[in-house]
Structure 1
Amino acid sequence: MECLKKFFPELLAMLNGFIPCSCVQLRNWFDYRNHICIVFEKLGPSLYDFLKKNNYRSFPIDLVREIGRQLLECVAFMHDLRLIHTDLKPENILLVSHDYIKVPDYNKNSSRSPKDSSYFKRIPKSSAIKVIDFGSTTYERQDQNYIVSTRHYRAPEVILGMGWTYPCDVWSIGCILVELCTGEALFQTHENLEHLAMMERVLGPLPQHMLKRADRHAEKYVRRGRLDWPEGAASRESIRAVQKLPRLQNLVMQHVDHSAGDLIHLLQGLLRYDPSDRLSAREALRHSFFTKDNLRR
């Protein structure tokens, strides 16, 4: 405890002016009955809470672009410090402001009256975000093969027990961007084999070299060099849940009017199966999905 009490003032001094604006800011700390309490800045709702109150309706593509840019900047900063967040998800990304506006939801059934509240959807007034919850953050090590990330945002190498490092954060970002575009989580599942089957449905077959490297806990998901699906499915409902998923390109084009091509190409880089081939956060920031927008300005 005494060590912590000495540590926090030094931490505040060290971080002052160095943390990018997309990371939550540590304001202060105090000792309450021998418990360290940490004070952060006051922020708005999480992206998940905003989506939920908005009946899980998608964000405009320009807002997705700005949120994605900030999220990647935060993660790139962390990776430069050799830190891995390991739990990126909409619940851990907060809007800075509570303010929003209501706009007509043109994707809804045209028979609905403008007097009907469901005819409108909420749009945040500001795109500014903060990434929070660094409680699971870890330094890069050689023996990192335990399970990390919340289920829907978990990378394939984590599920297969291959070990993980910085790219697991990038995979989570890809899943988050799809969710902001569609309003719903990309992989809505609670079971490993079904999760991997959903990945194959959306992104294509898993590479054989990754399936061969599955650890003893995950090797049961593989049979004769391929994913044991649908033979190993837990139920017919599980098979149907996988079959109803569209390919990534089709999913994005259902919800994005412009910049769809650039976004699809970016997502294909963020959601590459092999972590060694996946875009880094710095590389993603240089993608045309972000830079073309700047050139127009």
Structure 2
Amino acid sequence: MSVKSSSSHSSSASSLIHGFPEEDLRQEGKDNPGYFPARLGQSLQGGRFCIIRKLGWGQYSSVWLAKDKKENQLLALKILTCESTQALQASGADQRSDELRMLQKIATAQPIHRGFKHNLKLHDSFEFRGPHGPHLCLVTDVLGHSVDYVRKLNDNGDLRLSMALTKRITKQVLYGLEYLHDVCGIVHTDIKHDNILFRLSDVDEVVAHELVAKPSVAYDAGSEVIVPVVPVVSQPLPLSLENTISPTQLEAVLADVGHSHWHDHHFQELIQPGALRSPEVILGYPWGTSADIWNLGCLVTELLIGFWLFEYSPNGDKWNAEEDHLARMTEALGTKFDASFLSKCKHSTNFFNSDGSWKHFTSHEEPTWLLEDLLANFSSVDLGKESVEAAGQFLRRCLRLIPEERAQARDLLEDPWLSDA
């Protein structure tokens, strides 16, 4: 499996006039929630951290590689936008995240636990003021590419992963979830491809090589354009100096608890990426750590077959997308929702009649295939019949419609399918 990366280091002047090539850094930019316009070589926290590379950015933050001069080590700085910083500091009903306290809990709760190393470690945090307002900066481990990057390495567009790699990722994510659920009391709620990252084989070695081979750069606006802020190119780090890397060398880390919730305190009730959303969330039934298990089951299936398990959509005025999603769950699992369970769900009357029949849905012209048929027909060529059956049995322990019936992370770690992972 190739692990090398490539980046484009140029941008036309017009793109800088009408919008920045990455996050919007314009002072009056309509899409700027208050990103910090960091510069290569810039120092933060009284000179302790020196920024040496931009690793990436997202809706709520940008991430930078920095040298910690105090501890003489390389770390990552996740600089939250002003809006995200304010949201994190809100209280009561206005609070939407508790990322800092969760990271502090993860870093200190039980470092000897087997799942500790499969979660992102917080080293420090600090606040500072930028041109748009205050920023919270989270200082963490340096990580490499995500599962999303790895699954897109095939030149032919095949998004499937091998059985061996899927098993390894699954087992390591379960270690991480066991720690979050049983030790920290955290429900992740956002387990997706780009939130599962891999550790670098040797951080110092990889960084030293990359800074020479592919120096950190900013975008070139052209001499005819004068910009008040110079945007920096995102240059993620490769996992290794080798052209290929064995699945047995990969160590997965569950990252980004920005959307996570405490098991006994939720900031909102609508959670999870839509395609990975658990039935109890749609139906208005109390959710907890088992929502992560459903989420994981959907994701693992996708890694094996190369596409979403549930591809749903509304059908005009006949039924909405959520009802379609629920119907496809029953098709993939070859079952139906229990009427006694539905009676305990706040939103069940939006989709079901009192006897448990569908309120609007009739039938699909192209129904979702049964889980085992999807695995047998679409999973990677290295899967034999026994492997497909074992994978299906594992996934059915994750994908139970009633959340209390799903296996917990610690139980799934003992599943026969993962015995050789």
Whether TM exceeds 0.5 here: the answer is: yes
Give 1:115-264 correspondences, 5 Å limit.
126-141=249-264, 146-189=269-312, 191-204=321-334, 205-215=336-346, 217-223=347-353, 224-228=355-359, 230-231=361-362, 239-240=364-365, 243=367, 245-254=368-377, 255-256=379-380, 257-258=383-384, 259-264=387-392
* TM-score calculated relative to the size of structure 2: 0.56
- Asked if 1:276 is matched to 2:379, the reply is no
Which whole-Å deviations, capped at 9, do the CAs of 1:75-99 have from their partners, x for residues lacking one?
A: 0111112221111111211133435
- The yes-or-no answer on 1:92 pairing with 2:216 is no
Residue of structure 2 equivalent to 1:68: 170
Structure 1 Cα separation of the partners of residues 119 and 306 of structure 2: 24
Residue type matched to 1:208 in 2? A
Tell me which moved more, 9-18 or 168-177: 9-18
* Structure with the bigger percentage of helix: 1
Q: Secondary structure in 2 aligned to 1:279?
A: coil
Aligned residue among 104, 108, 118 for 1:14: 108
Checking the alignment, whether the CA contact within 8 Å between 1:181 and 1:252 is kept in structure 2 is yes
Q: Secondary structure at the match of 2:190?
A: coil
Q: Matched residues in 1 for 2:107 and 2:356: separation?
A: 53
Does the 8 Å contact 1:12/1:27 carry over to 2?
Answer: no
Q: Unaligned stretches of 5+ in structure 1?
A: 104-121, 234-238
Would the aligned equivalents of 1:96 and 1:130 in 2 still touch at CA under 8 Å? yes
Distance 2:102 2:305 in 1: 41
* Contact 1:211-1:227 within 8 A present in 2 as well: no
User: Identity rate of aligned residues, in percent?
Assistant: 25
* 1:98-120 deviation line (CA, Å, top 9, x unaligned): 358999xxxxxxxxxxxxxxxxx
Q: CA deviation at 1:8?
A: 11
Change (3 A) 1:192 1:123: farther
Flag the 1:79–1:207 CA change in 2: closer, same or farther, 3 A.
Answer: same
TM-score normalised over the length of structure 1? 0.77
Select between 22-31 and 194-203 the one with higher mean Cα deviation.
22-31
Distance across 2 between alignment mates of 1:7 and 1:84: 14
Bigger Rg, which one: 2
Work out the CA distance in 1 between the residues paired with 2:262 and 2:103.
Answer: 22
- 1-side partners of 2:414 and 2:295: how far apart? 18
- Cα distance in 1 between the residues matched to 2:343 and 2:101: 45
* Matched residue SS, 2:124: strand
Task: Determine the C-alpha separation between the residues in 2 that align with 1:83 and 1:7.
Answer: 11
C-alpha displacement of 1:32: 2.0
Q: Tell me the secondary structure at the aligned position of residue 404 of structure 2.
A: coil
Are residues 49 and 9 of structure 1, via their aligned partners in 2, closer, same or farther at CA, if it must alter by over 3 Å?
closer
Matched, 1:51 2:154: no
Q: Is the 8 A contact 2:352 2:358 kept in 1?
A: yes
What are the Cα deviations for residues 264-297 of structure 1, in whole angstroms up to 9, with x where unaligned? 1110111011111110001100111122x27xxx
| RMSD across aligned positions (CA) | 3.2
Report the Cα distance in structure 2 between the residues aligned to 1:132 and 1:77, rounded to whole angstroms. 13
Alpha-carbon distance, 1:173 to partner: 0.8
Distance 1:192 1:12 in 2: 34
The count of residues paired between Structure 1 and Structure 2 equals: 263
Contact 2:106–2:119 (CA<8 Å) still a contact in 1?
A: no
Q: Counterpart of 1:170 in 2: which secondary structure?
A: helix
Unpaired runs of at least 5, structure 2: 1-84, 90-99, 201-237, 314-320
